[in-house]
Structure 1
Amino acid sequence: MPNNKGSSKNTLSQKAKHETWEWIKAIVIAILIVIPVKLFVLDTMIVPTGSMIPTIMPGDRLFVDQVSWHYNDLKLGDIIVFWTPFIDKSSLAMLGPFDQFMNDLSPDHVNGHVEYVKRLIGVGGDTIKLVPAPGHPYFYNVEVNGKIPNALKDRLYSKVGIFQNKDYYDELAHPQNYIGSPDYQFLLYYNQDMDYTAYYDSVYKKWGNYVTEDASGNITVHVPKGYFFAMGDNTTDSFDSRYWGFVPMGNMIGTPFLRIWPLNRFGVMK
């Protein structure tokens, strides 16, 4: 009787090798498809903080359309995703392995930066100020070019950062010059946590008076051409343009349109 054990083992070994090779090819093909899509068409991000509560919760994973905003004008009040104009060390540390890997593939000019999700408040040429919100003594509505945008009429904001102190961006960039500031420890912490000084020194000084203050102490922010201003919905717990200023339009990624996780919150973004 012929002994087929050896040939059976060889057949099984060849089958295992074939299946392994097929899996490797499938993974490589998936990566070759996913990476270009991720970089140029459809981004995915996980939100690590509560700056957009209740609209977006910590741990939500979003799909972001990177294409449409190039052809359809963004509207004030739109939720947007963008690269920070500075390196944010603490946010980088929050990224999971997949998001860290994709972050490493980002364009050179934002390498080491992270994705933020906020609401668009103003674009180049706009003037922004906070006005008292009727019935809400401690909160404010945002006024853009002399009126409250329809999409922002129900949004309330805290008067902090640049709206409270016209020198705030300079203080954040150079806290050593403002040791007497009541925010000194906050300024020092965030200055060390992000590469803000280099960004500030490279662009802010060329703009001149991007912030003005009237005789009553009301502050107006003037958004420079080619930049935008963004704030979070969770106004008392959002690190946004009130604190660190303007973002280059070249850092815009797109608009989130679908929440894919957690499953009990799966659905189209509004």
Structure 2
Amino acid sequence: MSEFISRSTRHGHSKRGYDETWEWVQALAIAAILALVIRYLVFSPFSVSGPSMLSTLHDGDLVIVNKVIYHFRDPKPGEVVVFHATKNKDYIKRVIALPGQTVSAQNNMVRVNGKSIEEPYIDEGNRTADFEPVTVPKGHVFVMGDNRMNSSDSRSPELGPIPIDSIVGRADLVFWPASDFSFLW
């Protein structure tokens, strides 16, 4: 009888070990699938390239982009967005004006519908060159880099106001390097 119990116990341990291994494999597979879903559908990392968003963002900063927010609401002025500038290149800029609004700059002040806007994210001494009024078309936003003298943005004829449907998402958080960690809203 004791021989029967020891064999049974031995097989019970191997069965339990198999069950535990299978549970770990399932848990890891679910975690990997959730990570992929979150990475490609909800949040995505983006690497800042160039000086156009200084001093808010620096070349090489890594940011988390919220890819779902604009499925529920439209962009708002002041938000930092990532968008498809060309087929192969994404840009990161700040929303300045919305569809139907008229934006211009005079005497280093950006105006929306004729009123100067507050821009606490612009460093003192960072100048905004004058530009003639532009009315933002329906379904578009007007974006500008925070480093106004070194930014290719909606002021350039090549880019102009950007279609809202070309926006990848809102940049929410700088997560790397750790010294630049900050929320962008």
Q: Scaled by the length of structure 1, what TM-score is found?
A: 0.52
The question of 1:122 aligning with 2:97 is answered yes
Q: Provide the secondary structure at the position in 2 that maps to 1:242.
A: coil
Match of 1:175 in 2: none
1:27 offset after TM fit, Å? 8.3
Change in Cα spacing, 1:267 to 1:77, as seen in structure 2 (3 Å) is closer
Superposed CA offset, 1:168-209 (max 9, x none): xxxxxxxxxxxxxxxxxxxxxxxxxxxxxxxxxxxxxxxxxx
Superposed CA offset, 1:119-145 (max 9, x none): 10112111111121xxxxxxx111011
Superposed CA offset, 1:55-99 (max 9, x none): 000110001112223334432122112121x23xxxxxxxxxxxx
Q: Distance in 2 between matches of 1:61 and 1:27?
A: 27
Instruction: Kindly report which structure 2 residues correspond to 1:171-250, keeping only aligned pairs within 5 A, or say none.
Output: 219-243=132-156, 244-250=159-165
Identity %: 31
Q: Return the letter of the residue paired with 2:109.
A: N
1:262 offset after TM fit, Å? 0.5
Check the 8 A contact 1:141/1:153 in 2, yes or no.
no
Check the 8 A contact 1:63/1:260 in 2, yes or no.
yes
1:229 offset after TM fit, Å? 1.1
The question of 1:265 aligning with 2:180 is answered yes
1:53 offset after TM fit, Å? 0.6
- In structure 2, which of residues 103, 109, 115 is the aligned counterpart of residue 141 of structure 1? 109
Instruction: Kindly report which structure 2 residues correspond to 1:141-180, keeping only aligned pairs within 5 A, or say none.
Output: 141-150=109-118, 152=119, 155=122, 157-159=127-129, 163=131
Q: Scaled by the length of structure 2, what TM-score is found?
A: 0.73
Match of 2:171 in 1: 256
Q: Distance in 1 between matches of 2:77 and 2:37?
A: 29
Larger strand proportion, structure 1 or 2?
A: 2
Q: Distance in 2 between matches of 1:260 and 1:249?
A: 25
Q: Return the letter of the residue paired with 1:121.
A: I
1:149 offset after TM fit, Å? 2.8
Check the 8 A contact 2:173/2:182 in 1, yes or no.
yes
Q: Return the letter of the residue paired with 1:240.
A: D
Check the 8 A contact 1:76/1:149 in 2, yes or no.
no
**Structure number with higher relative contact order (C-alpha < 8 Å, ≥ 6 residues apart):** 1
What is the alpha-carbon root mean square deviation over aligned residues?
2.6
1:242 offset after TM fit, Å? 1.1
The question of 1:46 aligning with 2:47 is answered yes
1:26 offset after TM fit, Å? 5.5
Unmatched tracts of structure 1, length 5 or more: 1-21, 88-112, 133-139, 164-218
Q: Distance in 2 between matches of 1:148 and 1:83?
A: 28
Check the 8 A contact 1:46/1:59 in 2, yes or no.
yes
Highest Rg: 1 or 2?
Answer: 2
Check the 8 A contact 2:41/2:67 in 1, yes or no.
yes
1:225 offset after TM fit, Å? 0.5
Check the 8 A contact 2:65/2:169 in 1, yes or no.
yes
Q: Return the letter of the residue paired with 1:129.
A: S
Check the 8 A contact 1:142/1:157 in 2, yes or no.
no
Q: Distance in 2 between matches of 1:253 and 1:228?
A: 13
Q: Provide the secondary structure at the position in 2 that maps to 1:63.
A: strand
Q: Provide the secondary structure at the position in 2 that maps to 1:241.
A: coil
1:39 offset after TM fit, Å? 2.6
Q: How many pairs are equivalent? A: 157
Q: Provide the secondary structure at the position in 2 that maps to 1:70.
A: helix
